[in-house]
Chain A
């Protein structure tokens, strides 16, 4: 890998992120511009922003790495990451937007009219956010190590510093354009090299496709999680499917982006666009995984399978072209770290400053940003060895066992009560959080116990749902007094609910 190209590429990405974040406001100086400047974000732009924020290091590097090590079963990861948006669409998207909530704690408070449920949700949001941030920082460390030979901790610290400075200094004055830019950057950074890689493979001719014959059984893998996956692969697959399908809707940085949609209908259309954009992106990592098995098979035996995407251009294409393509991939990878990390940091910091730190204000938001980043940075430095995509899968499991029951039952079931929600959140989300913490801490390294703890969603999601339903049924007197009005607001189309506001001449011209 030639750092002469990669380092400038990474620097350009960082610079562009900060510049777009700081100056990407819509500016107008004349009357006619004014209207354009204050027009709300359309589904296309917002979908690109959501996708940009969502496609993290786990997608950019991790999926290909897992495919390389464990074979095509790992394709369930990208499928789950995508299908999660379908579940979000059909159960959550429009009502969540109509609730007016910015964060999940907002939703919990608005729906259940309970400050204590809000606090429980806040704690879980912070927990899930931190779990998700750790692998981003680890991925950054790995990437920078491969690019420059810098020590592992440096990349994570760099991303953390850039994000904290940009967010805390008020640099992210408009994050939508940043994230939309990052999506297209990431897509380009995988698409263009993939094109040349396939050309190179075609040109090589010697490296046979031989998909059938590849030893996917992961016999030579040295990773503890990998061997355990081999113990009960089918259970692991289901655990993964449940976690990703149901977990997406509760991810803190996904929820906040829906606030940008002007109404529920736009939120729905945005989600479909997200589904298409993410699906388009996920066509690419499998190509890298597959080519990685041809050109970098030795990575399978190391801890660094995640590096396959970064190394492939050099291996397959080589020369100046390989270096340039490698620089492009590196830029995309950094975009992945920055976008997801900044989105998560802002979401977590927002919750911290609102619900955890004592007073409110701009200064407290800065403090919260620092706190939101320091803890996962510590985690990333202390804990290593969990593959990026697996670690992200754990955040999904926590989200699926706590936020999914809260959102689905909150939106569709009138008899949900605050005690029921608390019970479900604590039993479902709490047990999942404990399970993944124990896994990361390495309490059980193999056997069924390990499998159950590492992929908790299969049991923790039903636990969350059942606890929420049963306790709610047992406490019918605690149904929030305004449930009926809240339900009306969640489900009523805007065309009916905004009768009272001023009519404007052009239909749909105003948000």
Chain B
């Protein structure tokens, strides 16, 4: 939306939506209650078998983007790499910690590590991942937008 500055209420005295508080809402029909004309439920008639099967227009639009698919694959690879890195950073300690605790036999360490210590680490990994993923997407958007320009010059 455009820069809609808070409008000066006093300027439109004839305009009830800004000059006066709106009255409490009462349901539309019960407001005109006196003779209360009856309503009837009306629906259209079934138009059997008119439903478009499967995947209409939108698919065809997407389908034209075979070049785009190649670009998307490169985006997927960079995102998957970020995801696997974050996952590995999470998985390695998680795989080893139970063995470590088993060997250590010290409940206090377990309380501290699992009860309090691990949550900041989790949030940090998540934060790192989101930054990386968003940067990947920004780089990708720049790459794609630059493509058209480069094609024009690159053709000769």
Q: A82 at interface (Cβ–Cβ under 8 A)?
A: yes
Q: Which residues of chain B have C-beta atoms less than 8 A from A412's C-beta?
A: 76, 80
The range of chain B's interface size is 35 or more
Q: Which residues of chain A have C-beta atoms less than 8 A from B126's C-beta?
A: 85-86, 89, 271-272, 275
B2:A505 contact, CB within 8 angstroms: yes
Type the 1/0 row for A391-433, where 1 means its CB is closer than 8 Å to any CB of B: 0000000000000000000001000000000000000000000
B116:A71 contact, CB within 8 angstroms: no
A89 CA to B115 CA in the complex, in Å?
A: 22
Q: A491 at interface (Cβ–Cβ under 8 A)?
A: yes
Q: Which residues of chain A have C-beta atoms less than 8 A from B127's C-beta?
A: 272
Q: A191 at interface (Cβ–Cβ under 8 A)?
A: no
A271 CA to B54 CA in the complex, in Å?
A: 32
Q: A504 at interface (Cβ–Cβ under 8 A)?
A: yes
A412 CA to B72 CA in the complex, in Å?
A: 12
Q: Which residues of chain B have C-beta atoms less than 8 A from A79's C-beta?
A: 114, 118
Q: A434 at interface (Cβ–Cβ under 8 A)?
A: no
Q: A173 at interface (Cβ–Cβ under 8 A)?
A: no
Within 8 A of A (CB), among B98-134: 98-99, 101-102, 106-108, 110-111, 114-116, 118-120, 122-123, 125-127, 129-130, 133-134
CB-CB under 8 A for A488 and B87, given A73-B101, A86-B126: no
A22 CA to B38 CA in the complex, in Å?
A: 27
A26 CA to B116 CA in the complex, in Å?
A: 38
A487:B76 contact, CB within 8 angstroms: yes
Type the 1/0 row for A113-131, where 1 means its CB is closer than 8 Å to any CB of B: 1000000000000000000
B86:A86 contact, CB within 8 angstroms: yes
Greatest chain B CB density within 10 A among A73, A276, A280, A492 is at A492
Q: A290 at interface (Cβ–Cβ under 8 A)?
A: yes
Q: Which of A27-35, A192-200, A253-261, A312-320 contacts B (4 or more CB under 8 A)?
A: A27-35
Please tell me which one of the listed residues B68, B90, B107, B134 contacts residue A216 in the complex, with CB atoms under 8 A apart: B107
Q: Which residue of B lies closest to A92 (CB)?
A: B83
CB-CB under 8 A for A90 and B82, given A29-B17, A79-B114, A506-B1: yes
Q: Which residues of chain A have C-beta atoms less than 8 A from B120's C-beta?
A: 279
CB-CB under 8 A for A82 and B119, given A73-B101, A237-B98: yes
Greatest chain A CB density within 10 A among B102, B106, B130 is at B130
A275:B123 contact, CB within 8 angstroms: yes
B69:A488 contact, CB within 8 angstroms: yes
A282 CA to B63 CA in the complex, in Å?
A: 46
A75:B115 contact, CB within 8 angstroms: yes
Type the 1/0 row for A198-239, where 1 means its CB is closer than 8 Å to any CB of B: 000000000000011010100000000000000000100110
A269 CA to B22 CA in the complex, in Å?
A: 37
Q: B62 at interface (Cβ–Cβ under 8 A)?
A: yes
Q: Which residue of A lies closest to B80 (CB)?
A: A412
A241:B94 contact, CB within 8 angstroms: yes
Nearest-neighbour CB distance to chain A for B115, whole angstroms, equals: 4
A510 CA to B2 CA in the complex, in Å?
A: 11
B59:A485 contact, CB within 8 angstroms: yes
A32:B66 contact, CB within 8 angstroms: no
Known: A113-B54, A482-B63, A488-B72. 7 other contacts (CB 8 A): A31-B18, A71-B107, A83-B118, A241-B94, A272-B123, A482-B55, A484-B69
Q: CB within 8 Å of A: which residues of B?
A: 1-4, 6-7, 17-18, 22, 25, 54-55, 59, 62-63, 65-66, 68-69, 72-73, 75-76, 79-80, 82-84, 86-87, 90, 94, 98-99, 101-102, 106-108, 110-111, 114-116, 118-120, 122-123, 125-127, 129-130, 133-134, 137, 140-141, 144
Q: CB within 8 Å of B: which residues of A?
A: 27, 29-32, 35, 71-73, 75-76, 78-79, 82-83, 85-87, 89-91, 94, 113, 211-212, 214, 216, 234, 237-238, 241, 245, 265, 268-269, 271-272, 275-276, 279-280, 282-283, 286, 290, 412, 482, 484-485, 487-489, 491-493, 495-496, 504-506, 509-510
Q: Which 8 A-B pairs have the closest CB atoms?
A: A279-B119, A75-B114, A485-B62, A29-B22, A90-B83, A72-B110, A493-B137, A286-B115
Q: Can you offer 14 A-B residue contacts whose CB atoms are under 8 A? A: A30-B22, A35-B1, A72-B111, A79-B114, A83-B118, A86-B86, A216-B107, A234-B98, A245-B90, A272-B126, A279-B119, A283-B115, A487-B72, A505-B3
